[in-house]
Amino acid sequence: MLQNLRDAGGHPTGNGARVRSGLLFRGDAPVRLDDAAQARLAGLGLRTIVDLRRDRERAHWGSEHAWFGGKLVELSLIGEQRRPVNPLNGGLAGFNRWVYETRGETIAEIVGTLAAPGALPALVHCTAGKDRTGLVVALIQSWLGVPEDVIAADYALSAEQLHADDDEAIAKQEEALGVNVRERPDLLEARPEWIVAALAEVRDTHGTPEAYLLAHGAQPDDLARLRSALVES
């Protein structure tokens, strides 16, 4: 079932430009797909899927790719951490900061994957499509020049898509975080201020999202190619 799939494009980037629609998608894991969900995914014309989950998540909920004939890249954003969110470490606000502070090389590798010739259209997903996917997409959107309020609204939309009273949404988030989400309802949220604060720290430490990506191993040619592909004037 797909609960949190959407286009990451269509947003303004300043000076009349926009992020192209139909090239970069974000979502939850393609598991338990009915015929309609498979047809929806097949209709996107995807050439690349980047799966940000840990091995244990893939083993528990294997993705269904019968509809897909492109390149699958399995690249855990957080490594193989068993429990990425500690109830005492600031919840998801702290998790967001931790990812940007410690997983920059992986984010740069993801961006390089998306920049490869012929990689687009692409889907980036984790288990619920909210936190890890939200962080990667927000950094890319910020790098492309999407305004902060638009990024924050897109990030926050995941909480609406997943529905706090939905058993499957809860199960996906518990699998992703290794925490009893029913006892931590804040972990089903996606507050705009969380992503705004995390991106502010990226700017504070590196100046710009592009400088952040370059500092963590992204290649200038890859960034130029991806920007050219994703931004229309």
* Residue found by looking up tokens 């390089």 in the block: 112
E strands present in the chain = 6-7, 12-14, 17-19, 24-27, 48-51, 71-74, 122-125, 231-232
Nearest Cα residue to 27 out of 13, 11, 41: 41
Q: Residue 173 contacts by C-beta under 8 Å, 6 or more apart in sequence? A: 127, 128, 130, 162, 181, 187, 188
From the list 126, 138, 159, 190, the catalytic residue is: 126
The DSSP secondary-structure symbol of 20 reads: P
- Cα separation of 16 and 34, whole Å? 39
Q: Among this protein's residues, is 126 annotated catalytic?
A: yes
Active site residue ranges: 126
